[in-house]
Structure 1
Amino acid sequence: MPHYAESFLSYIDRSPSPYHAIAEAVSLLTAAGFVSLEESERWALKPGGAYFVVRGGKSIVAWRQGSAPAAEAGFRFVAAHSDSPVLKLRPRPDLDAKGLRLLTAEVYGGPLLSPWFDRELKLAGAVWCGGGTVKRHLVDLPKLPVRLVSLAIHLKSDKGSDSFTLDREKDLAVFVGQGAKPGFDLVREAIAEALGGDPGPILSIDLSLGDAAPAVRLGAEGELISAPRLDNLFSAFTALTALIESTPAEATLGAIVYDAEEIGSQTYTGARSNFVESVVDRIVGGGSEDVWRAKARSLIVSADMAHAEHPSFTSATDPVTVPALNGGLAVKTGVQGNYAIGPAAEAWFLKVCEEAKVPLQRFRYRCDHGRGSSIGPMATSGLGMAGIDVGAPMLAMHSVRELAGTADLEASIKAFAAMYASREPLPV
């Protein structure tokens, strides 16, 4: 347990943006002997080989090539996503207010916005610079702390109210300093310092705000994890770890980390893209007949986080199908299509985990509440593969910092490892 927990905390701290999360995944896979492939090059795949390919710096597919042809043995994928609900800098972010240097931001996805105010934040992500060949640089800028600042309660028209209302156009001013220099000039200087020199003119940016404080363990035994971006780097880490620790099998075993889940996945790095489909086609070879045979023998486990019961809001979750922190991975179901609907795949996964003595829980939304979704419906329907949705329980989902159970790291890895290792035939 400490091994996984400490490794995961390090992974979170080194992954302040999707670009960094995928770069860290590449480091983990490379250290484990996986071979990097490029989409633009020819592939020469061997049975039992371990490979990965990255698209756009924010999505990755890693796999162990099966000893049997994929048309005969299929694929077993665990799929997660690299992005989280955040605030992003606008392309021209400078704003001046009576000598205060501000940056303008906009909302990405659906974050809980109130916790982002009045705490130290930092910028991280990617910049593209010229001065020659256009080059992408990953940057993490903890030496330039920034923050969003609330209006004092004394200045509110309703001084007795604790309600939080926000005008997304005018209230997301990011305080970066005071003085003569525009705010983005301070960002440029911090980027140059972080890169060890001037990278040339900045042509494009993809910079997010994130909590500047590191991930930590809470509780007398360190049984809880407090960290940013648990949704969904928790699932990305556990899927990649299970794959790295797996051994080659007849089926091709894979881990997918998509981008853009929080904004609907309609990007060329998202679950609605042809990224995984193209990888599957190239692994199978042999034409469309073999590709469709392989898909019919395949399974995708969509791994995103699940809601645990909040002790102060017990009525917000279904009283029967709500998981507990540190109780194991939860199987997420619903009849509205917000999660992957695959009863046969669900039965197979439950049997495999039961035989491996891996604990599982259940999650369903209340019938009268709104509901979240995942990449599961998009991935399974787009690829034509059976699948289910699972997730580790957590609290404060979509906050700037979230809370999950330390023991659920190992429980998730064991569940995915059982799926990879099982010789139980998939229902077709």
Structure 2
Amino acid sequence: MKNELDFATKNGWVHYADRKDDMDAFAARYMDFLSHAKTERETVERVVEELKAAGFSEDFTADKVFRTWRGKAVFVARKGAKPLSAGVRLISAHTDAPRLDFKQRPLLEQAGVGQAKTHYYGGIRKYQWLARPLALHGVIVKEDGSVIRVTLGEDPGDPVFTISDLLPHLAQKEVTKTVAEAFDAEKLNIILGHSPLPAPEGEAGDEKKEAKDPVRANILALLNRKYGIREEDLMSAELQAVPAGPARYVGLDEALIGGYGQDDRVCVFTALAALLDAADPDRANCLIFWDKEEIGSEGSTGAQGRFLEYCMEDLVEAWEPGAKVRDVFQNSTAVSGDVHAATDPDWQELHEKLNASIIGHGPTFCKFTGSRGKYGANDAHPEYIGWLRGVLNAKDIPWQMAELGKVDHGGGGTVALYLAAYGMDTIDLGPAVLSMHSPFELLSKADLYSTKLAYQAILEA
């Protein structure tokens, strides 16, 4: 018999058993988004498409507005019944995900194989990126300012790319090394081609002269033919290698969604859907989707930049001239929308089970992030947590609260502390995932649905 004084999480599949059709329809929309938004630029483009379709404007005098920055960050605001100075309900998320970036001079040829050198971005386990199909996404900017879009490896007729792995027959020494030692970042070289540049027409027999690095030369020729570029153009390019192929259902019951970049594009998608479906708000609703979270939120498009601050200054000037921006921030509440680590069924010993999240049991509140004694953390105030509990419980939405691993073993960072720096009450809230930061992360359909409802309830509160 259950003790009514105890707290128990709710299984989303049981709780929403009568809403399976709604869950499936929402998951299908999400998987389409996830399959096409594989870079921060592509993510922002998809967000802007939906905002424009919903009547949002770049003119801040309107009631529903948005602004993008460098194609990688976007701010969204919707006017509420109360003045802006009463504060906003804000949800943030990040548009970037771990990946492999091309180096500025990437092209080389070794042992008859043409390759591209990479520099990994964010926290990856390097071995997970070997011997798997990769696609290339990004932009090449020429010296005249023209921008060339690149997406190769996603269509069925496209070639894919890969990084070769060492065969076990030659790996006797490697298997005795630590993972950090066995996988050298400078060997994360992507295979681009193998055939040499054909000799010019008219040359035959002994007249044919093989070019230096003929495979590399052929790759350059192919890039020139397809995109009209020279090697120098790659120095002003932003090319990312990401897992090829669409998001897929996982399991006989199709209850899990597998795909790349769910950390943190699931929170982008659910926060945007929540805003677009929310009833007319009491307080203004805001979204901020940032770049660079996976490398410390640095740069002009990251949470340590001033994009949010500048947008809020312009919003105050347009919606409530004379109000103080600091009053808006200090009267506001914020949710740092980011995923949490679900208890891994095969690695349960790394979690402190009483304070660990269970996949399928609703979005996870994380009171603090950081590591080793909460260093580098935002630590949410109990008054705010109590209010949030009331908001979700009133709507009967499943939720849970957890830490990221055991005290001396886990930890991580989010943008929460940068939001809290403005004086806003802030906490992390997002769905739990398995295989976080891998090329194929796993998310529960039930958590996807619950997270959207939780964000919507907070925006409407």
Residue 155 (structure 1) shift: 0.8
Distance 1:139 1:191 in 2: 13
Residue 339 (structure 1) shift: 4.0
Map 1:236-251 → 2, pairs under 5 A: 236-251=268-283
Residue 354 (structure 1) shift: 0.7
Residues 196, 218 of structure 2: 8 Å contact kept: no
Confirm whether residue 4 of structure 1 aligns to residue 15 of structure 2: no
Confirm whether residue 407 of structure 1 aligns to residue 439 of structure 2: no
Map 1:168-247 → 2, pairs under 5 A: 168-181=184-197, 183=216, 186=219, 189=222, 193=226, 198=228, 202=233, 204-247=236-279
Residues 196, 217 of structure 2: 8 Å contact kept: no
Higher Rg: 2
Match of 1:54 in 2: 68
TM-score by length of 2: 0.83
Decide whether aligned partners of structure 1 residues 204 and 349 sit closer, same or farther in structure 2, where only a CA change above 3 A counts.
same
Map 1:383-398 → 2, pairs under 5 A: 383-398=422-437
Identity of aligned residues (%): 25
Decide whether aligned partners of structure 1 residues 2 and 101 sit closer, same or farther in structure 2, where only a CA change above 3 A counts.
same
Confirm whether residue 277 of structure 1 aligns to residue 309 of structure 2: yes
Q: Secondary structure at the match of 2:43?
A: helix
Is the deviation greater in 151-160 or in 209-218?
151-160
Any stretches of 5+ residues in structure 1 without a counterpart?
38-42, 423-428
Residues 126, 183 of structure 2: 8 Å contact kept: no
Bigger share in helix: 2
Q: Secondary structure at the match of 1:111?
A: coil
Match of 2:347 in 1: 313
Give the letter for the 2:167 counterpart: A
Decide whether aligned partners of structure 1 residues 77 and 58 sit closer, same or farther in structure 2, where only a CA change above 3 A counts.
same
Match of 2:84 in 1: 70
Q: 1:139 aligns with which of 140, 146, 150?
A: 150
Give the letter for the 2:196 counterpart: A
Residues 90, 106 of structure 1: 8 Å contact kept: yes
Aligned Cα root-mean-square deviation (Å): 2.2
Is the deviation greater in 269-278 or in 365-374?
365-374
Bigger share in strand: 1
Q: Secondary structure at the match of 1:409?
A: helix
Residue 170 (structure 1) shift: 2.8
Decide whether aligned partners of structure 1 residues 159 and 65 sit closer, same or farther in structure 2, where only a CA change above 3 A counts.
closer
Give the paired residue count.
Answer: 407
Residue 191 (structure 1) shift: 8.7
Decide whether aligned partners of structure 1 residues 291 and 93 sit closer, same or farther in structure 2, where only a CA change above 3 A counts.
same
Residues 69, 284 of structure 1: 8 Å contact kept: no
Give the letter for the 2:278 counterpart: S
Distance 2:170 2:141 in 1: 41
Match of 1:115 in 2: 128
Decide whether aligned partners of structure 1 residues 340 and 234 sit closer, same or farther in structure 2, where only a CA change above 3 A counts.
farther
Match of 1:151 in 2: 166
Residue 326 (structure 1) shift: 1.4
Any stretches of 5+ residues in structure 2 without a counterpart?
1-22, 198-214, 369-373
Map 1:285-296 → 2, pairs under 5 A: 285=317, 290-296=324-330
Q: Secondary structure at the match of 1:147?
A: coil
Residues 306, 392 of structure 1: 8 Å contact kept: yes
Distance 1:208 1:408 in 2: 29
Match of 2:358 in 1: 324
Q: Deviations over 1:245-293 (max 9, x none)?
A: 1233231101111000011111100000110111111112267852122
Is the deviation greater in 344-353 or in 269-278?
344-353
TM-score by length of 1: 0.89
Decide whether aligned partners of structure 1 residues 168 and 152 sit closer, same or farther in structure 2, where only a CA change above 3 A counts.
same
Match of 1:40 in 2: none
Residues 63, 243 of structure 1: 8 Å contact kept: no
Q: Secondary structure at the match of 2:187?
A: coil
Distance 1:388 1:288 in 2: 29
Confirm whether residue 31 of structure 1 aligns to residue 53 of structure 2: yes
Residue 337 (structure 1) shift: 4.4
Decide whether aligned partners of structure 1 residues 187 and 270 sit closer, same or farther in structure 2, where only a CA change above 3 A counts.
farther
Residue 163 (structure 1) shift: 5.9
Distance 1:230 1:303 in 2: 12
Residue 233 (structure 1) shift: 0.5
Q: Deviations over 1:131-183 (max 9, x none)?
A: x4x03343211124110111111112337659644454531111111022555
Q: Secondary structure at the match of 1:170?
A: helix
Q: Secondary structure at the match of 1:148?
A: coil
Residue 5 (structure 1) shift: 0.6
